[in-house]
Amino acid sequence: MQARRVIEIAESGGRLPIELIVVGYWASQAGAVVYVLNGVTPQAINLVLDPIVTTLPLSIPGVLYVSINDKARVCEAVRCADEIYAATETFRRLTALYGIAPSLVRSAATAIPRLESRTLLSEKDVRAPMPSEPHVVMPFPAMNRVRWGARDTTAKHPAKAAV
């Protein structure tokens, strides 16, 4: 497994780190990202990413989900990664057990600004788009205004369906 980044995904205060999940996915344009799931299901991550996945080409490396209980895969991921972000002390201890120096494991809280700035700025430099290729930028500051919900598909005018 050749992961560029490993990010632990764990609930905090009963909430998923939605912005971290989105930023991690956008960062996967430059190389595979492993989400180490700690008490979070792949289905929960999919609910966050489903609307985002369609905005990027299918040719990107993308993200891989690994359970924190899968010791062999977690070990392989952290040993190969360029960057590691931990949300819990449990994951920090695991990385130390696998020979990763504690100074190389960053807080998941620092991942958002670090990955966001690279994704929106330097990824363009790494893979310059062709002139005919549209450049899509995710409005991260607007994430708190995005609403997902059921839509009434039986309405005669879909544009006027309830959200």
Please list the pLDDT of the chain residue by residue as tens digits (163 residues).
788 999 999 999 999 999 999 999 999 988 999 999 999 999 999 999 999 888 888 888 999 999 999 999 999 999 999 999 999 999 999 999 999 999 999 999 999 888 886 554 444 444 444 334 433 444 444 344 343 444 444 444 444 444 4
Within a domain: 157: no
Half-sphere exposure of 96 (CA within 13 A, CB side): 9
Within a domain: 58: yes
Q: How far apart are CA 152 and CA 138, in angstroms?
A: 26
Domain extent, residue 78, equals: 5-114
Within a domain: 83: yes
Q: Name the pTM for this structure.
A: 0.72
Within a domain: 130: no
Within a domain: 139: no
Distance of CA 55 to the CA centre of its chain: 14
Domain count, the chain: 1
Within a domain: 65: yes
Please choose, from the candidates 50, 39, 48, the residue with its C-alpha nearest in 3D space to the C-alpha of residue 18: 48
Within a domain: 144: no
How is residue 61 written in tokens? 């490396």
Distance of CA 30 to the CA centre of its chain: 12
Tell me what pLDDT residue 126 has: 42
Are 76 and 85 in contact by the 8 Å Cβ rule? The answer is no
Within a domain: 134: no
Tell me what pLDDT residue 90 has: 96
